[in-house]
Structure 1
Amino acid sequence: MINEFKAFIAKGNVMDMAVGIIIGAAFTAIVQSLVGDIINPIIALFTGGIDFSGWFYVLDGETYVSREAAMEAGAPVFAAGKFVMAVINFFIIAFVVFMLVKMVNRIKAAAEKPAEVVPQVPAGPSEIDILIEIRDALKK
């Protein structure tokens, strides 16, 4: 069983997956910062700072100042605004990741682009061909 485990761990796929997870975790922090600290403020500038996370409906009919206050009071809260913000953030993050992947693919394609193929000039006749022609011409 230990040998099977060693063989499993030694496979390239497991190591690739581990590296992918570690880089993915680091990349998540970068993308969240990009979206939260750079893109969302720009969007807020154009939308007047609309934050949908304040949209909520308390199902027991009571009135609360905020969603947090309602939740602290133990009231059942339908937090549609938080869901809307999560969906908006998902689309922003998906678009940012798409643009990053597109940029990386473009860079990768440029790096893998083969050097321009120099057209080969057809080689002239070989020495033997020329000697044969001279011999045939002398015979005539």
Structure 2
Amino acid sequence: MKIFQEFKEFAIKGNVVDLGVGVLIGTAFGKVVSSFANDIILSPLSILLKKANYEDYFWVLTGGEYATLAEAKAAGATTLNYGAFFTSVFDFLIIAVIVFLFVKQVNRFRRKQEVEQKA
């Protein structure tokens, strides 16, 4: 019974709840950023590169020639999927910039609060 009580105290603490909320918001935010990257930024770029889906950029390492990654995978070919990697890196960079800007603003706000408290 003591273990249940300890777990209850642990789960009710604010940090655990804050972490859970942060994970949920982060998951939703990741989907929004992926959509922004793929649907808003990369879509116009695909006109220049004449391919609609960046995930279809791949090299076949074993097997024949395939028009799409789905065909290559269905045939069991070994592929190097550099288009999917590019998309993931692009998503990461957008998230990193947004998080950096957010943290920068939070730190600026904290410094302002500290100055006001000292005065």
Which of the five TM-score ranges fits, normalised by the shorter chain? 0.5 to 0.7
Pairing partner for 1:16 from 15, 18, 22: 18
Q: Give the whole-Å Cα distance in 2 for the aligned partners of 1:40 and 1:66.
A: 18
Sequence identity (%): 38
Specify the alignment match of 1:48 in structure 2: 48
Structure 1 segments of 4 or more deviating over 4 A? 49-52
Shift in alpha-carbon separation, 1:77–1:94, aligned structure 2, 3 A: same
Specify the alignment match of 2:92 in structure 1: 90
Normalising by the residue count of structure 2, what TM-score does the alignment of the two structures yield?
0.67
Higher helix share: 2
The alpha carbon displacement at 1:59 in A equals 2.2
Shift in alpha-carbon separation, 1:103–1:21, aligned structure 2, 3 A: same
Amino acid at match of 1:48: L
The alpha carbon displacement at 1:69 in A equals 1.0
Task: Name whichever of 96-105 and 86-95 sits farther off.
Answer: 96-105
The number of equivalent residue pairs is: 114
Specify the alignment match of 1:73 in structure 2: 75
The alpha carbon displacement at 1:54 in A equals 3.1
**Does the 8 A contact of 2:34 with 2:91 survive in 1?**
no
- The structure that has the greater radius of gyration is 1
Q: Give the whole-Å Cα distance in 1 for the aligned partners of 2:39 and 2:106.
A: 22
Higher relative contact order structure (alpha carbons within 8 Å, sequence separation ≥ 6): 2
Normalising by the residue count of structure 1, what TM-score does the alignment of the two structures yield?
0.59
